[in-house]
Amino acid sequence: MHKFRQNLAHLYMLLFLVFLLAPLVVMSGAAFNDSKLPSVVPWRGFTTMWFSEMIRDERMMLAFANTLWVAAAVALLAVVVGTAAAIMVNSISGRLRTILYGMMISTILIPGVVIGISTMILWTKMGNAMGTEFFLFNPGLHLSVLGQVSYIAAMVMLLVLARLQSFDSGLEEAALDLGASHAQVMRRILLPHLYPAIAAGAAVAFFQSIENFNVTQFTRGGSDTLTVYVFSKVRSGITPTINALAFLLICVTLVLAVLYEINRRRRARIEAAREAEARRAEEAALL
Amino acid sequence: MSAGIDLENVCCDFGTFRAVDNANVSIRPGEFFSFLGPSGCGKTTILRMVSGFIEPTQGVIRIGGEDVRGKRPNQRPTALIFQNLALFPLMPIWENISFGLEVRGVDKATRRKKAEDLLQLVDLPGAADKMVSQLSGGQKQRVAIARALAVEPQVMLLDEPLSALDLKLRQHMRAELRAIQQRTGVTFIYITHDQGEALAMSDRVGVMSQGSIQQIADPREIYNNPVNGFVASFVGENNVFQGEVQHAAAGMASFTTPHGQFRARLGDLSGKIGKLYVRPEHTIITATPAAENSVPVTVSDISFEGSFIAVHATSDTGAHLTSELRNDGSATVPEKGVRVHMSFDPARAAILPDANVRG
Amino acid sequence: MQDLIRRYGPGLTLLMGLLVAFWLVMLVIVPNITLFEQSFRPYLPVVEVGGPKDTYSLNNYLKVFDGNVDRSFLGFEFSIPVHVLTFWLTIFYSMVVTFLCFLLAYPLAYYMAKIVNPRSLPTLILMLFIPLWVSEVLRAFAWWIILAFKGPLNALLLGLGLIEDPIRWTNMGYTGVVIGLIYTYVLFMLFPIYNAIQSLDTNQIEAAEDLGAPWWKIHWRIVLPHSKPGIASGSVMVFMLSAGSLLVPSILGSTTSQWFTQTIDQWFKDALDWNTASAYAFLLLLLCTVFVTIAMRLFRVKLSDIAK
Ligand SMILES: Nc1ncnc2c1ncn2[C@@H]1O[C@H](COP(=O)(O)OP(=O)(O)OP(=O)(O)O)[C@@H](O)[C@H]1O
Ligand SMILES: [Mg+2]
């Protein structure tokens, strides 16, 4: 009976993985189907033509480039702001902490539509009020960046804060005691400890930004990002060039994920070896 | 290259709680000075005030004669060794050791050289390129000391540095620390709640209780002539008798207890009630009553402790008393259940007040 | 605050303070206040903004009640304003999505935390993460392909002989939307529950088994109560994301499935009436706040628990 339930569980996991991954397979498969409509059925033969078509689709390539720079800008800003916020929240206490932390977290829960519209209204109204044509106050992807940062920074903040929890503030004091300035403590002691979380935060911010539709849709003005472009294409007739791009993105993601995992295992191995050495030294000292 | 430290009427409050109360101590240059006291008595607080992480609420701290109020930790000639060592886990050992030089802008080659010299000094050659997690507890200890020595401090402050180690290693490191201190000549302020550690290593010891310093003296004095009951019982074992002082003269007094009249040295009671303290190893056990200070007891248990034998006995009033006999064959060990007499030399017993604390 | 200055010095503290202030004030508080303020103003041509007609009123909010449609539910005939209907259907189907996500995710979360061989867990998690890294629009698009009338799903079902004729998936009310939302957001339910169950001491389960409790009772009395905070945060996340989603309803919706965010989008993009769009957006924000508050009361969790 127990065995049966166990097998049922394995089966369930398998089905779940199929449910999650099959759509991606279908989408990738459609990139190689020689059919004008993106689909895997009916199969009209293998082709790589959609990849060359994709390169020639200038609007799409532009949207892709836009997506990348928006994501990079969001990652940069969100990491700077989110890290500062995490360090701040970590070393204050009491009411102020509760309020600040609550406000930061609630940004994750604000619907993207609301963020998009409010960001758009604020900056354009501000431009109108000042009577300026300065680009910052016009609709455009830079407003998308600001809108996206407003909640992605909170995600970075949470990641960095979790990492800060494992930080021994005694290290800061030790460094100060040895004569380091506050800036040196930050650069040599605190930030190196946070780098893994900051890197993870940057990755999350980058992908969250690529993923974002709601905020971008309301703030972008006339520019496209990939998400917006695909969205408009699904409505107005789509070709498998999108699938070709999707396939490439999935491949990049996979490669990154595998590299990450390999690196993680390597580190774990090194750490285990070090601890074993420490144990041996301990035993040797006791003899 | 070492400095003396003076605390003058130093107090430290956390809110309404007074962690350190009116501390006065003058530590000489090159001295190995220990603060000894139970957990939470304010030892770490004193150390953090000297190193500059907290400011005293009242009073003056002088290092090398100079008032250091308002000076930040990195402006004081002190180096602190933290209770948990606080080694930087992401830097190799040599960078850890030379960190204090790095932040002062010393070039890399000089730093590396200095780190290797210091590793030699603390008897850990060849560890320069290892990571912190590769070292055993004792080795980390040495690295922490080397790191503190690298900035050539005039005063080293050590906060229970051995508490995380195994017993055997701890005893080994005691001698090691003492040797390093003597090699470098730097003033050491050492904090511990382990009396054995404090007595074995220090030139002088300050015993603390609940924020106030009870006694400052060399280890022998602390053990043989404690000023009050707290010091007597925190540093070593005692047989304690309650009673009343009768005739006091020439530093001696008679003391009336339920067990009879005793004679003992009279400590500074300052009007407070006193108790009589006598160490187990200062008592003797005889078959017949001694001339004075003798209590009839029944032996309840014998425990063999290696270098000595502890005789546990109960008096007629039900008090538990202990006597320690050296295991050198000089004394006869009584049988369990036998009635004997326990006595002690008046010069080896003292009438002392309770601890010297507020309230 | 003193602690902050003591640890990092006045300069760095000021810098961090400014960064945080920029975020919370310029990117969050002021925009939302502006949105709120604008939602009470009428939509006017630019020249009339600030003129005599530019007065505060509730008119934008009252537009929700315009234009009734007739509906029947459980035999009751009633007429209801079309935007109110959209609003309720959005909430209703978001709840359906949340509940289905929970049903799907709970067994797998338990499996990951307690059954699977810990050595293969990182690989499993990595595989689960892949769809999360692929952008939302592409995930919705994948389902658009799958659910197409001549798409692979119908082909598969026809091939297996499970159906006689192909089904118009994307023309069955909210079916497409619900499937798409589940696929897109189920992982936001899975990981919080997994984290919660993982912190449950396996000995507790074994002790219960040892005492003879049947498997369902173990779940009902031990595992479920323990994973409550995870369920709460997962539910809040999935509900908020679903109710706020614009992409999935737009791509996978049918002619009869209107989502509240789509209505907002139409006010903003098609009617160019930003003020009414603000009013509607504010209603959505209000709804979400109310939902989160109720969920937190119900499950007795704090906001800080929700952020895993
Ligand atoms: N920052 C602080 N705020 C409030 N109270 C404190 C603070 N630091 C220490 N205390 C209190 O002051 C008292 C003395 O603390 P201290 O750390 O000096 O003790 P200690 O003698 O070093 O003890 P231990 O042997 O446990 O390290 C303790 O009761 C402690 O609770
Ligand atoms: Mg301490």
Q: What mean pLDDT, rounded, does chain B reach?
A: 89
Are residues A231 and A250 located together in one domain of the fold? no
Q: How confident is the model at residue B1 (pLDDT cuts 50, 70, 90)?
A: low
Q: Label residue C25 exposed, middle or buried (CB < 10 Å: 0-12, 13-18, 19+).
A: exposed
pLDDT digits (tens, 9 = 90+) for C72-128: 776 677 778 888 889 889 999 999 999 999 999 999 999 998 888 888 888 888 888
Asked if C165 and C113 sit in the same domain, the reply is yes
Residue A230 placed within a domain: yes
C99 with C33, same domain?
no
User: Are the beta carbons of A285 and B139 separated by less than 8 Å?
Assistant: yes
User: Any idea what the CATH number is for the domain that residue C73 is in?
Assistant: 1.10.3720.10
Ordered DSSP codes for A161-213: HHHHHT--THHHHHHHHTT--HHHIIIIIIHHHHHHHHHHHHHHHHHHHHH--
Q: Give me the long-range contacts of A47-50 (CB less than 8 A, separation at least 24).
A: A50/A239, A50/A240, A50/A241, A50/A243, A50/A244
Q: Look at residue C238 in the predicted model and tell me its pLDDT.
A: 92
Same domain, C97 and C242: yes
How confident is the model over B238-262, as pLDDT tens digits?
Answer: 999 988 888 877 788 889 888 888 9
Q: What mean pLDDT comes out for the span A259-269? A: 89
Specify if A88 maps to a domain: yes
In chain B, the percentage of residues whose pLDDT exceeds 90 is 55
CB A217 within 8 A of CB A235: no
CB atoms < 10 A from the CB of B116, how many? Answer: 17
Range of the domain at A261: 240-287
The secondary structure of residue C221, as a DSSP letter, is: I
Quick check: C1 pLDDT over 80?
Answer: no
Domains and CATH numbers, chain B: 5-230 (3.40.50.300), 231-353 (2.40.50.140)
Whether C18 and C144 map to the same domain: the answer is no
CA distances from B216 to A156, B274, C118 (A): 53, 20, 58
C12 & C84 share domain: no
| C47 contacts chain A (CB < 8 A) | no
Read off the DSSP letter of residue B208: E
Residue where a domain stops, chosen among A210, A235, A260 = A235
Contacts for C269 with CB less than 8 Å, ≥ 6 apart: A217
SS3 C288: helix
Does residue A257 lie in a domain region? Answer: yes
Supply φ then ψ for residue A127, to 5 degrees.
Answer: -60, -45
Cβ neighbours of residue A67 closer than 8 Å, sequence gap 6 or more: A209, A210, A225, A226, A227
Instruction: Determine the pLDDT at residue C307.
Output: 56
Which residue, chain included where needed, has tokens 């699904």?
Answer: A234
What is the C-alpha separation between B204 and C152, in angstroms, rounded? 87
- pLDDT score for B357: 56
Do residues C60 and C73 both lie within one domain?
yes
Best residue in B54, B93, B95, B99 for a mutation probing chain A (most A CBs within 10 Å)? B99
Q: Where are any strands of DSSP class E within chain C?
A: 68-73, 76-81
Q: Is A46 part of a structural domain of the chain? A: no
Q: Rounded to 10 degrees, what is the CA torsion of C291, C296, C302, C303?
A: -10
Indicate which CATH number applies to the domain containing A135: 1.10.3720.10
pLDDT at B358 over 60: no
Q: How far apart are CA C157 and CA B47, in angstroms?
A: 77
- Selecting from A174, A179, A275 the residue whose C-beta is nearest the C-beta of B86 gives A174
Residues in Cβ contact with A196 at an 8 Å cutoff, skipping those fewer than 6 apart: A163
Q: What is the CA radius of gyration of chain A?
A: 25
Residues A210 and A245 both lie in one domain: no
Average pLDDT value for residue range A94-116: 91
Q: Are the beta carbons of C28 and A107 separated by less than 8 Å?
A: yes
List the structure tokens of C54.
């530019």
Region A226-250 average pLDDT: 85
Answer yes or no: do C141 and A242 touch at CB < 8 A: yes
A281/B133 Cβ within 8 A: no
As for how many domains chain A has, the answer is 2
- As a whole number of Å, the end-to-end CA separation of chain B is 42
Q: Total structural domains in chain C?
A: 2
Residues A272 and A189 in one domain: no
Q: Environment class of residue C304 by beta-carbon count within 10 Å: exposed (0-12), middle (13-18) or buried (19+)?
A: exposed
Q: Is the pLDDT of residue B359 over 50?
A: no
Same-domain check for residues C30 and C83: no
Return d(Cα A37, Cα B330) in angstroms, integer: 107
Q: Do the Cβ atoms of B90 and A179 come within 8 Å?
A: no
More confident residue, A109 or B188: B188
Mutation target for A interface from B103, B141, B147, B165: give the one with most A CBs within 10 A: B103
Structural domain including C15 reads: 1-38
Instruction: Dump pLDDT digits (tens) for B127-138.
Output: 999 999 999 888
pLDDT at B82 over 70: yes
- pLDDT value, residue C212: 78
Same domain, A70 and A198: yes
pLDDT in tens, A189-215: 999 999 999 999 999 999 899 989 999
Beta strand residue intervals within C74-216, DSSP E: 76-81
| Tokens representing residue C16 in the block | 């961090």
Is B175 an 8 Å CB contact of chain A? no
Backbone dihedral angles phi then psi of residue B274, each to the nearest 5 degrees: -115, 160
Bridge partners, C68 (sequence order): C81
C178 shares its domain with C32: no
Residue of C nearest to A1 (CA): C215
Looking at the fold, whether A80 and A143 belong to one and the same domain comes out as: yes
Nearest CA in chain A to B99: A178
Per-residue model confidence (pLDDT) at position C126: 83
Residues A231 and A281 placed together within one structural domain of the fold = no
Phi and psi, residue A54, nearest 5°: -60, -45
Ligand 1 pocket member B36 (CB < 6 A): no
Is residue A134, in this structure, part of any structural domain at all?
yes
CB pairs under 8 A between A and C: 258
Say yes or no: A226 and A249 in one domain.
Answer: no
Say what the pLDDT of residue C306 is: 61
- On whether both A146 and A105 belong to a single domain, the answer is yes
CA distance A100 to C23: 11
Sequence-ordered list of residues with C-beta below 8 angstroms from that of A84, at least 6 positions apart, any chain: C15, C16, C19, C20
User: Is the same domain home to C293 and C244?
Assistant: yes
Residues C34 and C48 in one domain: no
Query: Which class for A251: exposed (0-12), middle (13-18), buried (19 or more C-beta within 10 A)?
Result: exposed
How many CB atoms are closer than 10 A to CB C49? 14
C71 pLDDT more than 80: no
**Per this entry, what is the length of chain A?**
287
pTM of the model: 0.83
Q: Is B239 in the pocket of ligand 1 (CB under 6 A)?
A: no
Same domain? A268 vs A226: no
| pLDDT tens digit sequence for B315-330 | 888 889 999 988 887 7
Note whether A183 and A277 are same-domain residues.
Answer: no
C235/A234: higher pLDDT: C235
Distance CA B197, CA B199 (A): 6
Task: Say yes or no: A107 and A88 in one domain.
Answer: yes
C213 contact partners, CB below 8 Å, separation of at least 6: C221
Same domain, C3 and C104: no
